[in-house]
Each structure stands twice: as C-alpha cells, then as structure tokens.
Amino acid sequence: MPFRLTKNIVAALGPTGLDGSFRATCVDVLTALRSAKGRRLITAMAETLERDVLIEWELFGAGTAEETASRVVNTIRRKLNGLEGGRLEAMSPGEQVGIIAKATTSPGRLPRRRGDAPEQFGADVRGLVRLGVERRVDLR
C-alpha cells in the first residue's frame, strides 16, 4: 500500500526520526511477517482477497480482474520474500525497511491536489483516488 511519511510525521518521531524506535519496530514487524506463521497468515489473507467478488480489481490496473488480482497477490509474496522493485536477491528486513523509508519520504509521493496521484503509484492508486472522488468515499 503506497504511503508517504511527511516531514511533520517524521518530526513527530522525535530527535531520532526514522532511525530510532520507528525503524527498529518496522524491522521487528517485517521479521515477524516473514516468519513461517506470519507468511501463512499474510498469504491466506491475500488469497482470500484475490477471490473476493466485491473488489473491483479493474481499478487496480490493466487486464482482467483475475490477472490483476493474481499480480497484486504475487507482489505481496515478493515483498514478503524481501524482493522490492526488480531485485532478484532477497534483502534483509533492515535493508528493506531502509529502502521503503527512503521511498516514503520522497517529495514526489504526495498528490498535489485532490484527485491527483503521482505517476509512480501507478493505476492502482489513481483508480482508488477516482473511486473516492466519484463515490465520495472518505479515504482517510
């Protein structure tokens, strides 16, 4: 799920910012999710969502609903295995948290006005933004 750590959020983390207890907690959570039990839990939830008929998968990208759902679940699996982006080698939880933290503090990740979504989010977030605007859904 794309998100952004704004300067205000980072400032609220105190003098250590992202490098203190926030990073340590993120590494601990990611380690737990990568454990056998965590992996089974996340995979079961993702597979359930993949088969959920109420999700409009067409909003999340090109292709059929089945293709899009399968792609999203495979992305979740890759991230659980420490494969961010196009990497072929698994990263340690600490390394993966560092990459995510760097990406989420990028100024380009925040839409400029309601209805805009940065290109790097792709069709998935643009679809969600349109969905929120069209249906007046509170996206908070």
- Give pLDDT tens digits for 72-131: 888 888 988 999 878 889 999 999 999 888 888 887 765 554 454 444 444 444 444 444
Instruction: Give the list of residues 6+ apart from residue 135 with CB closer than 8 angstroms, or none.
Output: none
pTM (two decimals)? 0.66
- Give pLDDT tens digits for 18-67: 898 999 999 999 999 999 999 899 988 888 888 887 788 777 777 788 88
The C-alpha atoms of residue 19 and residue 37 are separated, in whole angstroms, by 27
CB atoms near residue 117 (< 10 Å): 20
Residue 8 has pLDDT above 60, yes or no: yes
